[in-house]
Amino acid sequence: MSLPKRFPDRDEIAGVRIEVEHLEAGAYLEAEGGVQERRRLAGRVMARRDMGSAVFLDLVDRSGRLQIAFLKKEVAKAVDVKLGDVIGVEGVPGKTRRGEPSLFADEGPLLLSPIATSLPDTFHGMTDVEARYRKRYLDLLMNEDVRGDFITRSRMISAIRRYLDDRGFLEVETPVLQPRYGGAFARPFTTHHNELARDFYLRIATELYLKRLIVGGLERVYELGKDFRNEGVSFKHNPEFTMLEWYEAYADYRDTMVLIENLVADVTHEVLGTTVVQFRGSEIDLKAPWRRLKFADALEEHGLWTRDEAELRRRLTERGIDCSKDPTWAKLADHALSVYVEPGLIQPTILHDYPVELSPFARRTDDDPGIVERFEYYVGGMELGNAYSEINDHADQAERFADQLKDRAAGDAEAEEGDPDYVEALTYGMPPTGGLGLGIDRLAMLLTGRDSIRDVVLFPALRDRS
């Protein structure tokens, strides 16, 4: 069978629906002078109703769904059309006598791609969750709300780019394959380059390369890209995920607080028309400004703030928390945060002023060298991202890397290995800098109201069926 290679000059279904909404039942779309307008549509047939003297097809494209009506002498042309076929049609837009927006076809249907495998139940859609993830193409075909979610995600990313571009940031690209991994606490994926005869790592963060660009004078940079962490999966974790990181010279973490809360609010309003979202059973307003809460105060609210490792371990153990995988005070404090504080941060909250042990890349505060200018921000009981006033003292950074190596020796496999080249870059001088990371997948969860990261990642990582 020879099929057409193209179907040019087609109209989007959503646009045609808008054109005919003002019409009365039984009317057709007319141009000036009473001449009937014509439109060309293409898409997939997702429903069929045979009425004897008429055949009605539901045609779906990315923008929406519209009824295609074949009346009287045109009925024979639709006889061989099957559910799932991709077709092209041409005709006059209007409304049926019952007021249904339609295209009254008088040319076509032109078969563009026949279906060879039957679609799932077109009435109920795909309901098997695992099948939806494994065969996302069918999930998108069958579930209009899923298509809508990924369109929302795409618009969200475009809006983020516009927001940062309009404020003088440059979008850049840094290596995904890195000879050293850094910029976060995580285990990497390792690969080998045959020609160079050396191991490389899939990046766990873009941080250290982006800050090299600040040293180089680019001053405001951001990257939207994939990171990879060899870790467990959960409703908010996938081993491959999308992050936004930006770095702004001559700014600190308080400037960054204002920028992120306004970015999220403005992007949400642009995409959804409101700053209010529904997420995991809560109504959440993302409008700025957000609540501020110090790290120590947050733990103290739960009777868990102490700098003594043995005491913190005792308090957590008494509450039934398994601390066997927490070899350091920093790990214990982070564990306490995730169990007792994070789930209660439903409305947007900026948690700031972290202990230095948890933050190898943040500058110390002026008042207390044991506290650094770092914040994490939470919405819906979930961390969205992390931010610092960056270290620009090469000696301080080298000391922090050395402390991380001690933690690795103590059993913390996720501690930083260090990066001598990055330390050398700092010796050339980096301006005071504010930096931030934002989890794009998690923000997409918020804007679509989805409970799982797998619902906003087109092709999530899954176990082998075998």
Distance CA 387, CA 373 (A): 9
pLDDT of residue 39: 95
* SS3 of residue 366 by DSSP: coil
pTM: 0.91
Given a contact cutoff of 8 angstroms between Cβ atoms, the answer to whether 215 and 247 are in contact is no
Cross-strand pairs, 103: 68, 93
DSSP, res 30: B
29: part of which helix (H) or strand (E)? Answer: none
Tens digits of residue pLDDT in 280-304: 999 999 999 999 999 999 999 999 9
DSSP, res 76: G
The alpha carbon of residue 223 and the mean position of all alpha carbons in its chain are separated, in whole angstroms, by 14
Phi, psi angle pair for 150, to nearest 5°:
-80, -25
Distance CA 122, CA 82 (A): 12
The three-point CA angle 351-378-171 to 5° equals 100
pLDDT of residue 278: 97
Cross-strand pairs, 445: none
453: part of which helix (H) or strand (E)? Answer: none
Distance CA 121, CA 116 (A): 16
Which among 233, 211, 207, 230 is positioned nearest to 220, based on CA atoms? 211
Lateral strand order in the sheet of 177-178: 177-178, 198-202, 190-193
Phi, psi angle pair for 185, to nearest 5°:
-95, 105
Helix ranges (H only) for 166-294 are 207-215, 253-272
Distance CA 182, CA 204 (A): 7
Distance CA 421, CA 466 (A): 44
DSSP, res 339: I
**CB-side exposure of 4: number of CA atoms within 13 Å?**
13
Distance CA 56, CA 39 (A): 17
CB atoms within 10 A of CB 440: 23
Q: In the chain, which stretches have pLDDT less than 70?
A: 1, 122-124, 413-415, 466
Residues 6 or more apart whose Cβ sits within 8 Å of residue 444: 149, 152, 153, 156, 450, 456
Distance CA 260, CA 189 (A): 30
pLDDT of residue 466: 64
Given a contact cutoff of 8 angstroms between Cβ atoms, the answer to whether 83 and 119 are in contact is yes
Q: Tell the residue number behind the tokens 């404020």, with chain if given.
A: 167
Residues 6 or more apart whose Cβ sits within 8 Å of residue 189: 201, 202, 228, 230, 239
Domains and CATH numbers, the chain: 13-119 (2.40.50.140), 140-290+347-455 (3.30.930.10)
Residues 6 or more apart whose Cβ sits within 8 Å of residue 455: 146, 149, 445, 448
